[in-house]
Amino acid sequence: MAAVFPKGFFWGGATAANQLEGAWDADGRGPSVDDHFTGGSYERPREITLEIDPDKLYPNHDGIDFYHRYEEDIALFAEMGCNMLRMSISWSRIFPNGDDAEPNEAGLAFYDRVFDCCHAHGIEPLVTMSHYEMPYHLVEKYDGWASRELIGLFERYAKTILDRYHGKVTYWLTFNEINCGTMDMGNLFETSMIQGYEGPASGVHTTFQDRYQALHHQFVASGRAIRYAHESYPTLRMGNMDCFILSYAATCDPADILLNQQQMRQMNWYCSDVQVRGYYPSYARRFWRDHGIELDIGPGDLDDLEEGTIDFYAFSYYMSNVVGTHGVEQSAGNMTFGGKNPYLQSTDWGWQIDPDGLRFSLNEIWDRYQIPVMVVENGMGARDEVAEDGSVHDPYRIAYLRSHVKAMGEAVDDGVDLVAYTWWGPIDLVSAGTGEMRKRYGFVYVDKHDDGTGTLERRRKDSFFAYQRIIRSNGTEGLE
């Protein structure tokens, strides 16, 4: 029998401003870090250019033009049955340079319109304050999150949007995939993408010291935003957002088990332990010592962590990987590489598909924290073909969706307090990792291509109707 999702469960989709809005320089918006990323592909990493080069293509500049088409898109999400839309606010739409004296009213007004439109369709917005972007000026002038100054600048931005939208937005996330800041991804594009702190203006910060110091600044900034929200608007619910990459020990060799424990702590638990509990976990001390990290902790920082804890735990889940001490074949994945698992299939981009891993992760998270949990990204990037009659048949995406919804149902049955599921990219949008359009996640197809051409017309894929059926039955039908 299919598991029963709780009444009032949120079903929806998840997006990020820089990957779909476009209109990068409209109505007073300033350039953000992502506007300096060129297009790329699986084989060819995106470049970052310090100046905008007219001979190169920057796919985030136009996105899928949600800025002008949000009404049509939100109506499509509503037609699918979504009652939640995860979206982010573009920081540089509100503060074009990040350190401006006054916010940009036109930018604020845009999100008023979007939130109003959501509510008109019975859709609850779930808003990320910073989804892999910041005003580019903050990277040039302050070196992004390497600087303590960013804490105050983010705090002002957060207060501005909380004051403006607290009546329209109840659910908030501070930083997207904050834990990706722990990783040394070793190339300019990816490290630069992480919240913008690895600024192109200053070179790449690949040392543990730099990464963990930048993360500390983000923890404090997040804590201050949450503290302010709780004090000023007690009905708001504030969450983190972690990129949960489950890893398995490759063998039962105790050395592999220990290695995996360390991997899980560094990748998956370090940030949320701070954000849920309000203090650094005890294993952090040894980790810092072993990696030569000496955190500069300012007066009041630890109070901000303690008083800025989250109300719910939110995470992205796409895949799992394997770690071991005996040599493990490598596989690609979300923001990272990891070991290949012989029991799993992979997407065309090498991400290992593991619905049971989602059930396992949900149980681990719930057992550890005992606060409501949201899956705020999950999905599958794939190449889609438009048939002659205009339809898009995507059985692979439907299979991925069903298997992960089933896994969530099992987790609910296991006792996990799961309250929301927002599929990544309910509509095709620009890939964060590769800048491609052909790596499609959507239930809605967008006629836009890697070379920037396309009519931008939207069309419903088969998966649109599959998700609709799941939502209509609150997860009890459409899983076969």
Applying CB under 6 A, does 245 fall inside the site for ligand BG6? no
Reported as type and span, the H/E element at residue 444 is: strand 444-446
Q: How many residues does the chain have?
A: 480
Q: Which is nearer to ligand BG6, 176 or 331 (CB)?
A: 176
Applying CB under 6 A, does 169 fall inside the site for ligand BG6? no
Residues in CB range of 331: below 8 A, 6 or more apart: 321, 337, 338, 339, 340, 341, 346, 350, 352
- The C-alpha R_g of the chain, in whole angstroms, comes to 21
Q: Which is nearer to ligand BG6, 2 or 183 (CB)?
A: 183
Binding test (CB under 6 A) with ligand BG6, winner from 243, 245, 405, 437: 243
Binding test (CB under 6 A) with ligand BG6, winner from 34, 124, 377, 428: 377
Applying CB under 6 A, does 85 fall inside the site for ligand BG6? no
Binding test (CB under 6 A) with ligand BG6, winner from 12, 13, 372, 381: 381
Residues numbered 11 to 70 that lie near ligand BG6 (CB under 6 A) are: 16, 19
x-marked contacts with ligand BG6 along 103-122 as a string, rule CB under 6 A: --------------------
C-alpha 108/C-alpha 29 separation (Å) is 10
Binding test (CB under 6 A) with ligand BG6, winner from 93, 439, 440, 461: 439
Active site residues: 177, 377
Residue number with the smallest Cβ distance to ligand BG6: 433
Q: Which is nearer to ligand BG6, 144 or 478 (CB)?
A: 144
CB of 334 to ligand BG6, least distance (A): 5
Applying CB under 6 A, does 128 fall inside the site for ligand BG6? no
- Segment 335-338 long-range contacts (CB within 8 Å, at least 24 positions apart): 335/177, 335/180, 335/183, 335/185, 335/190, 335/243, 335/245, 335/433, 336/183, 336/185, 336/245, 336/267, 338/245, 338/247
Q: Which is nearer to ligand BG6, 151 or 432 (CB)?
A: 432
CA distances from 358 to 10, 315, 316, 362, 401 (A): 17, 11, 10, 6, 12
Q: Which is nearer to ligand BG6, 256 or 354 (CB)?
A: 354
Q: Which is nearer to ligand BG6, 110 or 424 (CB)?
A: 424
Quick one: which segment of 106-114, 197-205, 290-298, 433-441 binds ligand BG6 (CB under 6 A)? 433-441
CB of 221 to ligand BG6, least distance (A): 18
C-alpha 314/C-alpha 422 separation (Å) is 10
For residue 87, which phi and psi values (nearest 5 degrees)?
Answer: -145, 165
Applying CB under 6 A, does 331 fall inside the site for ligand BG6? no
Number of residues that bind ligand BG6 (CB under 6 A): 17
Q: Is 396 exposed, middle or buried (CB count within 10 Å of its CB: 0-12, 13-18, 19+)?
A: middle
CB of 212 to ligand BG6, least distance (A): 20
DSSP reduced 3-state for 175: strand
Reported as type and span, the H/E element at residue 10 is: strand 10-14
Applying CB under 6 A, does 446 fall inside the site for ligand BG6? no
Please, which residues bridge with residue 316 across strands? 243, 377
Binding test (CB under 6 A) with ligand BG6, winner from 83, 268, 316, 463: 316
DSSP reduced 3-state for 326: coil
Applying CB under 6 A, does 129 fall inside the site for ligand BG6? no
Q: Is 295 exposed, middle or buried (CB count within 10 Å of its CB: 0-12, 13-18, 19+)?
A: middle
C-alpha 67/C-alpha 113 separation (Å) is 10
DSSP reduced 3-state for 447: coil
Binding test (CB under 6 A) with ligand BG6, winner from 88, 176, 331, 352: 176
Residues within the interface to ligand BG6 (CB under 6 A): 16, 19, 132, 176-177, 243, 316, 334-335, 377, 381, 424, 431-434, 439
